[in-house]
Amino acid sequence: MQQFFSGLYEIVLGRPIPANFTNDYREVVFPNTGLMLFIISLAMVVVYYYVLNRMMSTGLYKTQHWVMFLILNAIIAFIIPITQVTGNEIETHAYTYMFAFVNVVYSLILFFVFSILLKRGSVQAWTTPMKWPNKR
């Protein structure tokens, strides 16, 4: 798992800076951030489709509601890497903020993919953010 998340972030960001924190990033920060990103994005999609729009029937099924959850997920995804870096006593600088930005991009992709995969189980939001691939 360490290699997967390290590779996922380093393919876009390059080697961690400063170089003396490379092992900290690879062994702790990248895996923790990636795992939290995956879990939180999945949880946000489950809450949107299955809690709010199935069990509670809140009527938050419009695309604008979905975008609100997407943005909330992106904000959380921006905060996670910064807290991981500062929590591990690593200097924050431009690399940290680029890392946070890349995490936001990954969160947007994950949220969209999880939405496509899980929206069929929703009673009210099965067409959000788009009708495809449903055949109702």
DSSP state for residue 127 in the 8-state scheme? T
pLDDT tens digit string along 82-97? Answer: 999 999 998 888 999 9
The 10 Å CB-count burial string (b at 16+, else e) for 86-121 is eeeebeeeebbebbbebbbebbbebbeebbeeebee
Q: Is pTM, for the whole model, over 0.85?
A: yes
Q: How much is the pLDDT for 124?
A: 72
Ranges under pLDDT 70 in the chain = 56-58, 125, 127, 130-136
Q: How much is the pLDDT for 1?
A: 79
